[in-house]
Structure 1
């Protein structure tokens, strides 16, 4: 069997929209007689969503008989192709289709589109860019090799007005039953700003005014990634890329089928627990910093995948009859901080190689790289 290795000229393999992706494909052909018609290389960038329809079995009584009624909900899919370039790097020059043994080196150069959204791996979809090498084998299954790369647009927090604006939210709740009220509790959560980068700490201030008979003993802080996927019943989004002509901007046009649906999936990124003791008629302030791990940036630039982040704060009591208060604050993850001089390293996504469970021929284990800045 042939082996194939894709080597990029750039390391780490993180590219910006509009960049040229260059390198070499090194292919080792075995000494035994190896048949092949051609070797095709592709550069593909696409967004893909998929979820299966639910099957429900209900029982219906008619004329005294019980009949099973089966309801099928169709699968939903979506696809946007942002780039697809193909080139034939080798072709047989005879009817015998003999490919010489030994090592073959094929250079490549592809240009990413300027509109490319960031790489993302999720439960029900992904935004993925990859080099695909395929050996066309006569009378055999084709040999296919896929190597992924990370594409990351510049999301500069200094250019997003809301990223520097403080954020706060509060909640007041009356605890106890109707005939036995235990008092009012107020909780307020404050953030000094709304924009952050990976590696940066989110300084959270929680102000509690407890006028109830309850004693609160724990605060949970969770960083949540909320992804909105769009899918289409029994169909895809058909897309086609157009290069710029004259002064026209590059663009992607696409036609959607009817019956679009959305699915919102939430993933817990991390959780911090703070032990407290706020008793009756007490006021207190709690300060806690949460460091953001390697994560894809907030994005709404993909037509079928939106990525948002939230801080969820939950304050609770102990005992058999637990009471709790909850608040959520949105925030933004960018790729470029306000301080441009900060150093960073690229690190694999906190979700690792198992971020997606989709069944797709272009799905393989892959963890995108994201910039993690140093705040020391």
Structure 2
């Protein structure tokens, strides 16, 4: 028989998205179906980044793999919801609710998920039982660190690149790609203003041409780093016939929900972006150009920015009231309003946690498996939509 049912953490906020220094409030709730003894009911708030980099030793016949890890903690708060100084006490059948409130520190990195690395925040409620496994539930939440593009000396800069690839044999000629941005600083929901073209000076049709936002990630474990690339959004372009040019001036690219560039307050993970134009010339030969992007979450005040429409966006007013006052002040002058948008790109199954109650915890510690079932989760990021013109 299940002795506990509906064990959950319920937040006061309508969405589990927070900024540094904000209060996290809610209740821990559960139903007891069968009486048992406990030595305490607790809630932990944990924020950390964890990186694991594997190194294969090619000279080893057994294919030995070394693991390099790094664990960085940002906050660990424990709240005693119900205790009697370590003495056991009974929980009888019925419904229990325990309110809680705690404040986040003022310097926290943004939530992030990648293969072999993450910056993660979660609440874990647990009930201790003598000589038995503890009962627990987990609630992950997102932290968005403010990155004001107006404070970046590079966000208003332009960037340009071009590439030429020759096409041989009977389809001889060349393919030239050019890409230019008048500025490189953008926020999620903003429309990228393109200037560029793909010139096909061969007889061969280019059937696979596309634009994509690429995330470049550096995972920094102890004594070992690992770099990876991940496509965040792809826009497939029309076929380019031989001896024709495709202009990119009228193509509409909307920046998807993404964590900001850089690695503010995090030493384990570094994130950068670029916009890349690729034309597949022949099998294995590609004409490729890329320009840098800086992704923030406070838009530039100058630069003639455009944003996606409000269509399909709910509760804009209520979400704006949940933002810290300093952030509301920053965005009040802009022609856009913020919402929270989940990112399916970063979907992950949480099936472990890091027990950080010991201040002397080993920084190479591996995560513990959860007693509760794995949780499907994805972080949410600030996303800007066009302000209502009424």
Which TM-score band applies after superposition, normalised by the shorter structure? Answer: 0.7 to 0.9
Partner of 1:205: 195
Correspondence 1:193 to 2:183: yes
Partner of 2:12: 9
Correspondence 1:150 to 2:142: yes
Aligned-partner Cα distance in 2 for 1:96–1:23: 26
Partner of 1:328: 290
The structure with the larger Rg is: 1
SS of residue in 2 equivalent to 1:4: strand
Partner of 2:279: 315
Q: 1:59-100: CA deviations, max 9, x gaps?
A: xxxxxxxxxx33423112111000111122212479653224
Q: 1:264-302: CA deviations, max 9, x gaps?
A: 22222221111243534x655333222222222223121
Partner of 1:367: 378
How big is the shift at 1:160? 1.6
Unaligned runs of 5+ in 1: 59-68, 233-259
Corresponding residue to 2:104 among 92, 105, 112: 112
Which one has a larger percent strand, Structure 1 or Structure 2? Answer: 1
Aligned-partner Cα distance in 1 for 2:276–2:376: 30
Q: Residue 281 of structure 2 contacts residue 287 of structure 2 at CA under 8 Å; is this kept in 1? A: no
Aligned-partner Cα distance in 2 for 1:357–1:219: 39
Correspondence 1:159 to 2:151: yes
Unaligned runs of 5+ in 2: 302-330, 353-365
Q: Residue 37 of structure 2 contacts residue 90 of structure 2 at CA under 8 Å; is this kept in 1? A: yes
Aligned-partner Cα distance in 2 for 1:118–1:327: 29
CA root-mean-square deviation: 2.9
How big is the shift at 1:211? 5.0
* Structure-to-structure mapping, 1:24-35, within 5 angstroms: 24-30=27-33, 32-35=34-37
Aligned-partner Cα distance in 2 for 1:95–1:49: 38
Q: Residue 262 of structure 2 contacts residue 270 of structure 2 at CA under 8 Å; is this kept in 1? A: yes
Corresponding residue to 2:338 among 344, 347, 365: 344
* Structure-to-structure mapping, 1:212-231, within 5 angstroms: 214-231=204-221
| Change in 2 beyond 3 A, CA 1:365/1:181 | closer
Partner of 2:247: 285
Q: Residue 175 of structure 2 contacts residue 281 of structure 2 at CA under 8 Å; is this kept in 1? A: no
Q: Which moved more, 1:162-171 or 1:4-13?
A: 4-13
Partner of 2:347: 353
Partner of 1:82: 74
How big is the shift at 1:184? 4.9
TM-score of the superposition, structure 1-length normalised? 0.79
Partner of 1:125: 117
How big is the shift at 1:29? 2.4
Q: 1:320-375: CA deviations, max 9, x gaps?
A: x6742011222021112125341232121132533779884367422111122114
| Change in 2 beyond 3 A, CA 1:95/1:273 | closer
Q: Residue 343 of structure 1 contacts residue 373 of structure 1 at CA under 8 Å; is this kept in 2? A: yes
How big is the shift at 1:37? 0.9
SS of residue in 2 equivalent to 1:374: strand
